[in-house]
Structure 1
Amino acid sequence: MKDWHTGQSLWFTGHSLGGALAMLGAARTHFVDPELIADGIYPTASLAPAARA
């Protein structure tokens, strides 16, 4: 993400399965570029990461 500009915010959002993918996307972003920090992750209607179905 070399084109990332200072002052921009990064949010991951999703509903249901998209919420789970938002969490995975945020985690992957952190491992690919640790200097790029998300301002937030906002999953809706998704299971907690440690929840069992």
Structure 2
Amino acid sequence: MTRPLRRAGYFRAGGSHGPVFIDSEAQLGQYRLLLKRLDAAALPTQPSRDLIHSVAQEL
């Protein structure tokens, strides 16, 4: 069972000079939109595992 994620008030991203903390709502909104799009494009769990397994078998 999955629980809904708590909405964070900041985001920690890796930068060229170490971690960067983003806390403005506009920037957080951009990251949330990006994650939403990535989630929509990702395979479900089992098909993803099957794909990884088939690629590993070919190596």
Q: Is TM-score (shorter-chain normalized) higher than 0.5?
A: no
Give TM-score scaled by structure 2 length.
0.34
Give TM-score scaled by structure 1 length.
0.36
Higher helix share: 2
> Which structure carries more relative contact order (alpha carbon 8 Å, separation 6+)?
1
